[in-house]
Chains A and B, each alone.
Chain A
């Protein structure tokens, strides 16, 4: 775990951070860097410590040990400055349901101290980003789930932040709404905004993140581009074999004998790094369903757990 001090070139740099809640260790020696202009996906199952990490970056949770720096500011000591420059999109929808979309954004333009002369511009821009211009004067409680989530995201962008923290931005949304939000997040990244996004959706991390950090039990166990993580830990291809339980056991035995790894996923056994499977073994195994390897394979290889 290389450096002991924070990395000054990174937009977010975390070193050796530990956080206990009673006897539970939520974050356990976390090291993480997010470089300016990149999107880092923090991937891990529920309870891995992702949300605690997010809260620590805004100083709503104070680390027991370790160092955190955000946009050059020490956290928690100078967190107010850092918070002025970053936008936070929480996991839980906490827009003011009594207020209209425009009022919600206007209040946050105040809170983020957008100067009075630019407040209207900032709010109009946020409304356009959230595609809520024609619903601007609708009370938030009357907006659909997808619209409310877009409002929640726009609220964290109203002051044109340099860094955006997204905590499980699409959790609980239907696939179509999720696609819309992905387009919005992707646009942010193309615009040079640094994004730190926690998620337990593998596909979300693969689609949006330049870099993925895999988190388990409060620490980062692997980090890199989705491609390099796949190359290093899961290979190019996986083959799934379906069948009754005794057949699955048989497949596992054959593959283990050939020196490769498998994992169970529901009613199937998946052979990882299948491109290295010798032809003789492939014949022995019979027909399977090949697919490209994915981050979930990486995750399972590294932790032995499944993400969802």
Chain B
């Protein structure tokens, strides 16, 4: 078979004198794979990302809003519309991190294939987490657009929402990846969803303001990354308070860093023996 003899240019794979510990090329490679997959499922994801917040705003905003018309001097629907940006970010990132990673590791053996190429565990984890985070950043804007259609006033600060979504999504995607490496089976995700994700999602200031809760509850909320996301999105929509917002950004950075460390450590434990 003469085809094999037709070689690529010599040295194609030998250009690098030294491969570094972290290669941006690896991210590009992992992203190229995600992008090829995304072309297959973008329509359903986009549909869900628009329809879900619309239903929330109709059900809670219009329905529940008849009971609570105004919060912090704003119509309830604006309070909720900004809040559920965080919900969209959370669900987009954490479920991708959990289920996609688990299925790829156990059923598809994707990582066994990736790790046979010049890519290491921390690069795969970073590549996939940043991809989920980018999706969270983009799809996090969907509720905001729906809320604008429901009457929320656009403001210049809103251009930072994709960045807030990215940073929050990064932490939660990494949390999901970590969880996928910890659980013994895919059913065990039920524990994590009920015991961790649902409380985080409900007590983040999305549906009701936390300011009126007792001090201890407000203190606990500081450990909920989603709370910081909600606060930042509201700031983006209604006006920043630089010092407080920097605190929220800092909290999200700490969360993402800690989750990165845990996700890489556990994935390495599962993939390299």
Provide the residues of chain B in CB contact with A125, threshold 8 Å: 3, 6, 8
Chain B proximity mask over A178-200: 1 for CB below 8 Å, otherwise 0: 00000110011011010000000
Counted as pairs of residues, one from A and one from B, with CB atoms less than 8 Å apart, the total is 124
Q: In the docked arrangement, what's the CA distance between A215 and B225, Å? A: 53
Interface-centre pick from B12, B110, B116, B273 (highest chain A CB count, 10 A): B116
Q: Is A161 an interface residue (CB 8 A)?
A: yes
From B1, B110, B118, B273, contact of A129 by CB (8 A): B1
B8 and A114 contacting across the interface, CB-CB below 8 Å: yes
Interface-centre pick from B4, B16, B32, B272 (highest chain A CB count, 10 A): B4
Stretch with Cβ within 8 A of A (4 or more), from B33-41, B57-65, B152-160: B33-41
**With A92-B112, A114-B12, A118-B12 in contact, is A103–B117 under 8 Å at CB?**
no
Chain A proximity mask over B1-29: 1 for CB below 8 Å, otherwise 0: 10111111100111110010000011011
From B9, B19, B108, B119, contact of A111 by CB (8 A): B119
Category for how many chain B residues contact A? 35 or more
B13 and A161 contacting across the interface, CB-CB below 8 Å: yes
Chain A proximity mask over B95-121: 1 for CB below 8 Å, otherwise 0: 000000000000011101111111110
Category for how many chain A residues contact B? 35 or more
A94 and B109 contacting across the interface, CB-CB below 8 Å: yes
Q: Is B271 an interface residue (CB 8 A)?
A: yes
A191 and B12 contacting across the interface, CB-CB below 8 Å: no
Distance in angstroms from A152 CB to nearest chain B CB is 9
Interface of chain A residues 129 through 157 with chain B (CB within 8 A): 129, 155-156
Distance in angstroms from B99 CB to nearest chain A CB is 15
Provide the residues of chain B in CB contact with A277, threshold 8 Å: none
Residues of chain B whose beta carbon lies under 8 Å from any beta carbon of chain A: 1, 3-9, 12-16, 19, 25-26, 28-30, 32-33, 36-37, 40, 108-110, 112-120, 271-273
Residues of chain A whose beta carbon lies under 8 Å from any beta carbon of chain B: 21, 58-62, 80-81, 83-85, 88, 90, 92, 94, 96-99, 103, 106-108, 110-115, 118, 121-122, 125, 128-129, 155-156, 159-162, 183-184, 187-188, 190-191, 193
